[in-house]
Chains A and B, each alone.
Chain A
Amino acid sequence: MPEPLYEPDTAISAGGAGGATDFAVDEGETLEKRPDGGPQGAGPGKPRSLWSDAWRDLRRNPVFIVSGLVIAFLVVISLWPSLIASGNPLQCDLARAQEGSQPGHPFGFDGQGCDVYTRTVYGARTSVTVGVCATLGVALLGSVLGGLAGFFGGGWDALLSRITDVFFGIPVVLGGLVFLSVVTSTTVWPVIGFIVLLGWPQIARIARGSVITAKQNDYVQAARALGASNARMLLRHVTPNAVAPVIVVATIALGTYISLEATLSYLGVGLKPPTVSWGIDLSAASPYVRNAPHMLLWPAGALAVTVLAFIMLGDAVRDALDPKLR
C-alpha cells in the first residue's frame, strides 16, 4: 500500500446532514477534533506503541510460539535440571558403557558408562549459560562502543571501524585454539570471555550503523533544535529507534555462540571435564559412532534444536520489528 492507513473518520458532521452548508474551514478542524470512530472505533484506535504492535505480531507467529516454547523449556531445565532428570551426570558405571536404551535410561549409556539422558539434560545448563552470558557481554560491549562511535563519529569512530576490521580478520576456531589452549581453568568463563572478545565487533558494527541511521532522522534534529543535550538525544531518541537490529542480531548470535562453545569443546580447547557439555559429549562419542550412535545422536540433536530455536526466534523478532512491513 502506498499510503499509511488513515484513522477511520466516518461519521458525517452534524451540520452536513441538514443540507448545503457553506464552505467553512472550521468545520474541517472540528471534524478532526472529534474522537475517531465514536463508539464503534474503540478497539483499534487505542494507543499502540510500535513495541506493542510487534508483540501483537509475535504472539500470532507460529515460528515464535514454537521457538519460544523450546527456549522456555531449555531455560527451565537449565535452572532446575533435577525436575526431569533424577540422576547425577557425573555418576558413571564403566560396566554399563555403551549400553543402549533401557528402562530408566531412555538414551542409554556413554563410553564411560554415564547416563546419556542425564548428561544431555545437564548439558543444557552449560550451553544456555554460555549462550546467555556471552550474548549479554557481546551486546553490552558492542552496542555501547558501536553506538557511541556512530553517534559522535569522528576519530574514535574511524579507530573503532579499523579495530572491528582487524577482529573480523581473525578466524574464530583458530583463534579459539590459540587463545584457549593456554587456559587451564575448568569453568565456563574463559570460553565466555573468548566469545565476547571475538563477538563484540559484529554487534558494534550493527549498532553503529543503526545509530547512524537513527540519528539522521528529523526528530533527532528537532530535539537538537530544542536545545536537547547529547545524552537526551542518545537515550530518548536514538537508542529506542536503534535497538531493534541489535536485539535481532544478538538473538541469532546467541544460537551461534552455543554452537561455537560446542565446537571449541569438541576440539578440546573449550570446556573441560568435569563440566558437562554437549560439545564434550560429542567429542567423547565420536570414536564409537558405528557401535553406539545413540551416544552421539542425543547431544547432537539437543544442540541442533537449541541453536535452531534461537535462530528462529531471531527471525521471528526481525519480522515483527521490521519497519518496512509496518
Chain B
Amino acid sequence: MTAAPASFEPSPALLEVRDLHVEFRTRDGVARAVNGVTYSVAEGETLAVLGESGSGKSVTAQAVMGILDMPPGRITGGEILFQGRDLLKLKEDERREVRGREMAMIFQDALSSLNPVLSVGEQLGEMFVVHRGMSRKDARNKAVELMDRVRIPAARERVGQYPHQFSGGMRQRIMIAMALALEPALIIADEPTTALDVTVQAQVMDLLAELQRELAMGLILITHDLGVVADVADRIAVMYAGRIVETAPVHDIYKAPAHPYTKGLLESIPRLDQKGQELYAIKGLPPNLLHIPPGCAFHPRCPLGRDMCRTDEPPLYDVPDGRGSACHFWQEAHHG
C-alpha cells in the first residue's frame, strides 16, 4: 500500500509509519503490542484505524505522537516519517517542537486530559504563550476565538470557567480547540466520542470532520466503532494483535471485506434497521499479547484457518483497487 516515493499520488503522504514494532515489558514477560505496522495519511485525508482493545491501535498512535511510556514501552523497530523526517531520530526537544505545533492529539477522556485547577481559557491560551510568545491578554482573546470556532456558546463569558463546569460534549470541544490551536498538519483522535452520548457524539464528530476539511489537516481516527468509521473516514486500516490485517477505501471495505476478521466484525454488529435472528459471533477470544499465536495471529478464531496459517505469517497481500489484506486466503474471504 505504501508505494515508492515517486508515486502517482494526488497529495504526498503527510505521515508514513513503516514497519513499526513496539513492545512492553510486563511482570509476566514481553507483550508485543505493535508488530510491524505500516500506514500513511495524506493531507486532508481521514484514516480510520479500527481495532478492539489490545489491537495496538492506540499504542501506534502514542508512538507517533511520542507520548509512549518508555519504560515499560520500547520501540524496537521501524520508522515514523512526518513530512519526510524520521521522528524516531529526532532529539527530545525537537520532538516536543513537532508535537503540539505540527501534530496534536485528542483523547477519549476529556476530563482527565484537562487540568482541573486551571480555567479553560488559561489552558487554551497557554499554547499561544508557550509556542507563539503571545501576551496573556492576546492569548485569552485567541482562546475565546477558538471556543467560538468549536461552537461553544457564550465563549466570552465561559472562558474563565473550569473544566468541571462544562458538560462532557463541551469538554471534548475544548479538547478539539486545544488540538487545533496551532493549526497542526495532523490530528490524531483516539476514541474521541466513545465516552459521549449518541446525540452529543454526532455533534462532536460533525464538528471535527468539518474543521478537518476546512483546515485540510490529516486526521487519524482511532476507534472500535464501525458506525463512526463509516460516517467520516476516507480510508480504513483494521488492526488485530498489533498488525494491520486489512486496509481499503472505506466504501469498499463495507461492501466486500477481504479479511475474515473484518468480515466477522461487520457481521457481528446488530443493525438498527432490522431485527436479526442470531448474531454472527467471532469465536474465541482476542489474543494474549504475551503469547501471540504463531503464523497468522487470527488463525485460532478464523473460519478459513488451515495448516498454512499456523506456520506462515501472511504478508499484506495486494488486493485490487488499492487495498491490502493480510490473509493467505483473502480471495475466499473477499468473494466467498
Contacts and interface: CB of A to CB of B under 8 A. Distances in A.
B300 interface: yes
A19 interface: yes
Contacts of B299: 12, 16
Nearest to B73: A1
Interface string B253-272: 00000000000100100000
24 contacts: A1-B24, A1-B26, A1-B33, A5-B31, A5-B288, A6-B54, A7-B288, A8-B288, A9-B284, A10-B291, A12-B300, A17-B305, A19-B306, A20-B329, A22-B303, A23-B264, A25-B280, A25-B281, A27-B283, A28-B281, A28-B283, A28-B284, A29-B283, A57-B27
Given A3-B54, A31-B301, A57-B27, 17 more contacts: A1-B24, A6-B54, A8-B291, A9-B285, A10-B291, A13-B300, A16-B302, A17-B306, A18-B306, A19-B306, A20-B332, A22-B303, A25-B280, A28-B281, A28-B282, A31-B284, A32-B285
A6 B283 contact: no
Contacts of B27: 57
B289 interface: yes
A154 interface: no
Given A25-B280, A44-B28, A16 B303 contact: yes
Interface string B121-162: 000000000000000000000000000000000000000000
A1 B289 contact: yes
A contacts with B: majority SS? loop
A21 interface: yes
B287 A6 contact: yes
Given A2-B53, A5-B26, A11 B300 contact: yes
Instruction: Give the residue among B28, B284, B286, B329 with the most A Cβ atoms within 10 A.
Output: B284
Interface residues of A, number: 29
B191 to A, nearest CB: 11
A27 B283 CA distance: 6
A281 B299 CA distance: 73
Given A25-B278, A44-B28, A5 B290 contact: yes
Contact of B288 (A6, A27, A31): A6
A46 to B, nearest CB: 14
A31 B287 CA distance: 13
A5 B53 contact: no
Interface of A: 1-3, 5-13, 16-25, 27-29, 31-32, 44, 57
B283 A12 contact: no
A3 B287 CA distance: 11
A68 B304 CA distance: 56
Contacts, number: 88
Interface residues of B, number: 40
B307 interface: yes
Given A16-B305, A28-B283, A2 B58 contact: yes
Nearest to A16: B305
Nearest to A26: B283
Nearest to B307: A17
Contacts of B249: none
B293 interface: yes
A2 B224 CA distance: 14
Contacts of B58: 2
B171 to A, nearest CB: 21
B310 interface: yes
Contacts of B289: 1, 5
A3 B31 CA distance: 11
B227 interface: no
Interface in B188-247: none
B52 to A, nearest CB: 9
B311 to A, nearest CB: 11
A27 B280 CA distance: 12
Across the A-B interface, the 7 shortest Cβ-Cβ residue pairs: A28-B283, A3-B54, A6-B288, A16-B305, A8-B291, A3-B53, A31-B284
A9 B303 contact: no
A18 B332 CA distance: 15
B291 A20 contact: no
B305 A32 contact: no
Contacts of B290: 5, 8
A299 B199 CA distance: 71
A323 to B, nearest CB: 14
A5 B28 contact: yes
Nearest to B31: A1
B103 to A, nearest CB: 21
B316 to A, nearest CB: 21
Interface in B6-40: 24, 26-28, 31, 33
B309 to A, nearest CB: 8
Contact of B303 (A1, A6, A7, A20): A20
A20 B306 CA distance: 8
A2 to B, nearest CB: 6
A89 to B, nearest CB: 47
